[in-house]
Amino acid sequence: MRRAAIVVVIVTLVASGVLAVIWSQQRRLIYFPSAGPVPPAATFLPNGSDVILQSDDGIALGAWYFPVRDADTAVLVCNGNGGDRSMRVELAAALNTMGLSVLLFDYRGYGGNPGKPTEGGLAADARAAQAWLAAQQDIEKIVYFGESLGGAVAVGLATERPPAALILRSPFSSLPDVAAVHYPWLPVRRLLLDRYPSIDRIGSVRVPLLVIAGDRDDIVPGELSRRLYDAGNEPKKWLSVPGVGHNDPALLNGRQMLAEIEGFLSQTGVT
């Protein structure tokens, strides 16, 4: 009996230690920024200009603006949790060909920006990006495009500052839902500091909604994207891209996705 009790104590201590490490390091499992810095915008597209955004908590953020002459609509791109804005240039170029100006920005801690990423920090960064775009004299309408975790950032921003339309690529219902898929043996719903509860927010967003997901996504399962879509308000459109995973090129600048975006913005009167 004594030996059994000792074993229980040891297992409990080891489990507690593992949970403590996971709790303290969890943001390293969520955010994967590039080291940065990134090159000038004009390195990638000739119409690119470098921009500095100021968050309301004092963080200076690097961004790129790719304007289209005489365009009155711009797309604010909220990145996913990995890399930096240079990975989204092909998307910006494709949106430019639709006559849409584009703002790419990096969150704090990404692309050479100061600070460390958190849910509240990313929300502040998105507000700074939206405020900059809204201050441009030629821009009358702003569309939010949120990729993966950036979809949650875009949903949160939309509840505060409604866009002309909301496009979500591979979004999830909540971060605990995603974590529970990947770590089913851990009490992640209680451990997570950053939660991104899009499923609780989407009902208050009343703008045209387009949700795009790959049907072979093993990072954000399609059912989590669909759950968020089902909770959204009309008018809305669902696109499942066959044979496509989370990071496949088809979900960056794929022909089917881009055609759907262009048609959606036209049909809803945004462009």
- Looking at every residue in the chain, the average pLDDT score rounds to 92
Q: At 8, is the pLDDT very low, low, confident or very high (cuts 50, 70, 90)?
A: very low
The tokens describing 167, both together, are 């496009």
Q: Dump pLDDT digits (tens) for 140-159.
A: 999 999 999 999 999 999 99
SS3 percent helix, strand, coil of the chain, rounded to 5, is: 45, 20, 35
Residue 5: predicted pLDDT:
47
Residue 22: predicted pLDDT:
52
Q: At 189, is the pLDDT very low, low, confident or very high (cuts 50, 70, 90)?
A: confident
Go through the domains of the chain in sequence order and give each one's CATH number.
31-267 (3.40.50.1820)
pTM check: above 0.85: yes
- The count of C-alpha atoms lying within 13 angstroms of the C-alpha of 249, restricted to the half-sphere facing its C-beta, is 3
Q: Dump pLDDT digits (tens) for 202-234.
A: 999 999 999 999 999 999 999 999 999 999 999
Q: State the Cα torsion 79-80-84-87 to the nearest 10°.
A: -80
127 or 27: which carries more pLDDT confidence? 127
Q: Does residue 6 surpass a pLDDT of 60?
A: no
